Amino acid sequence: MDIVYAAEKPSIAEVLSIRLRNRVTPQEIEVHENPDETGSFLVRWRFDDYVVSPNGDVESDTSS
């Protein structure tokens, strides 16, 4: 069984804004599914990459 979680760009931008303490708009981010973790997303904002986990944790993506 495949399990997929989905989130809207505005929701992801809001989570990033809170965690980074910087205003992030949905138009500023690129969002991709993360093949390494079900339900998490790879997010590109400005020149940085982040992983947003299903529980709302945001971490810098050091694999890129």
pLDDT digits (tens, 9 = 90+) for 24-60: 999 999 999 888 888 889 999 999 999 999 888 899 9
Q: Is the pLDDT of residue 2 over 50?
A: no
Predicted pLDDT at 64: 57
- The reply to whether 4 falls in a domain is no
Q: Higher-confidence residue: 4 or 13? A: 13
Number of domains in the chain: 1
- The reply to whether 3 falls in a domain is no
Range of the domain at 30: 9-58
| HSE-CB for 25 with a 13 A CA cutoff | 2
Residues 6+ apart with CB under 8 A from 46: 28
Predicted pLDDT at 6: 63
Q: Higher-confidence residue: 31 or 2? A: 31
Predicted pLDDT at 3: 47
Cβ atoms of 51 and 40 closer than 8 Å:
yes
For residue 29, the cross-strand partners are 45
